[in-house]
Amino acid sequence: MVGETITTTANKARVKPLEWTGGRLRLLDQRLLPARVEHVELDRWQDVVAAIQSMQVRGAPAIGVAGAYGLALAASSLAHLDAEPFQRDLAAARPTAINLPWAVARTLRAAEAASTPAEAAELALAEAEVIEAEDLRANMAIGAHGAALLPPNARVLTHCNTGALATAGYGTALGVVRAAWERGALAGVVATETRPLLQGSRLTAWELAQEGIPVTLIVDGAAASVLRDGGIDAVIVGADRIAANGDVANKIGTYALALLARAHGVPFYVAAPSTTVDLDTPTGDAITVEQRDPDEVAAPLGVQAAPEGIAVSNPAFDVTPAELVTAIVTERGVHTPPYAESLRAEAD
């Protein structure tokens, strides 16, 4: 990939997954965490597509912001080239998350108002910056709304990574965790490894450790026993797409956690910005689930863990039915069933 690699030292300041600097998109390379903290700087929209596909940047809100900046990199050509390749390739880099095509389309609409390539680039960049700022504000509001749902001294279980690394810099489900911690209302977090790419152990545990928030890591298969043994007050997860009826697409393993939470009487909350709600998708059956490289399962992180040539299924997401979701938290408030009504009312 074209772009300069910059190595930095980790510190206890809140991590930031991406930023626009010097006419380039600067990404924290999440594939290398927690062993190394390195940044790449990208100056071509094609490199942004590759970064999203390879998960150098990941998380539905974060890839939406990255896609917007990717279009800003391409925008100088919009006045004399067909914009369709930019929109198609950026939006399709990861197909499950609605935030990516939404942000790319919004940035493109802003750029198309220009009369010159220079103006198109300026308008696209301005829109990308607005999208980033809006996501950060939304995350803070999600945190406040979600923290209010938790009892004092709460202990929560979470899956995958939904924090600063997955957003513009605060988090959705981990935004709720952060808000509760800041209020003195959180005892600690149980984080699943989140196989096969270990976003829970590599990213969530790292993020929380950076801020001194108590976290206990478990393997995915231990969640049933942890919930059975009690002491978990809520399961909180993020989302990559929420259908109009409240079905939720999120990292593979989320559906299993929802079933376990229901079996053990633990509330199951989904925290996501309103941009993740897709009212044009009626139910979860209509959500495209991304299938990823089999080697992520057979040879995770480059370590051969299965026989060569064995058949592998590697869906990156699953869909949790709305009836298993206790509440959906967005920046606009807490939504409860029937979601077809409460989510629609939010959009009106």
| Residues labelled as active-site residues | 240
Exposure class string for 229-254: b at 16+ Cβ within 10 A, else e: eeebbbbbbbbbbbbbbbbbbbbbbb
Q: How far apart are CA 174 and CA 162, in angstroms?
A: 5
Could you identify the residue written with the tokens 């939470």? Answer: 261
